[in-house]
Structure 1
Amino acid sequence: MEKRLGFVGIIIEEREANAAAVNELLGRFGSIVVARMGVPYEKRSCSAITLIVDATTDELGVLTGKLGCLPGVSVKSMLSKAK
């Protein structure tokens, strides 16, 4: 499978309790992450993270599947059509 450029959008609710697990997991997938931007939103006690990734569909599926299983985490992703 060929790698494609894409993004992952992550919302972390109750970030004080849940952010550490997200960061640990993202560290394990650092080889597919091209860029990362995170913004804490104190008013709602949450954070939004956007990742730019260069990944196969399988790699992206494993990452988003593991993220989606974490408590308080919502995730959406997309890969480009072009290879």
Structure 2
Amino acid sequence: MDSETRVAVISIIVENPDAVSEVNRILHEGSSFIIGRMGIPYRARKINIISIVLDAPQPVISGISGKLGTIDGVSVKTAYSNI
């Protein structure tokens, strides 16, 4: 990637099992920018925790994060690298 992109981590907590397919659909749309993904099913609490690392233009990162944030039962936070 180049200097017009940013490295970011999107942290996702899925509390609604019905939301998983929508989360995966949105992540698939941005898959060309995803450089890593880790998913942890926390069965004791019946939630899924997902971390996505991207190298993408700012509008793409914001778009993915924003779409995920509109899903009922999904919490999203994004952290950006300073480089």
Please report the TM-score for the alignment, with normalisation by the length of structure 2. Answer: 0.91
Higher helix share: 1
Alpha-carbon distance in structure 2 between the residues aligned to 1:14 and 1:69:
13
In the alignment, is residue 12 of structure 1 matched against residue 14 of structure 2?
Answer: yes
Alignment coverage as a number of residue pairs: 81
Q: Which residue of 2 aligns with 1:49?
A: 50
Q: Which residue of 2 aligns with 1:69?
A: 70
Tell me the CA shift for residue 14 of structure 1: 2.4
Q: Secondary structure at the match of 2:68?
A: helix
Alpha-carbon distance in structure 2 between the residues aligned to 1:19 and 1:61:
20
**What stretches of structure 2 of length at least 5 have no aligned partner?**
none
Alpha-carbon distance in structure 2 between the residues aligned to 1:54 and 1:29:
11
Identical aligned pairs, as a percentage? 35
CA RMSD in angstroms, aligned pairs only: 1.2
Please report the TM-score for the alignment, with normalisation by the length of structure 1. Answer: 0.91
Q: Secondary structure at the match of 2:4?
A: coil
In the alignment, is residue 23 of structure 1 matched against residue 24 of structure 2?
Answer: yes
Post-superposition CA distance 1:33-69 (Å, at most 9, x none): 0000000111111100001110121111100000000
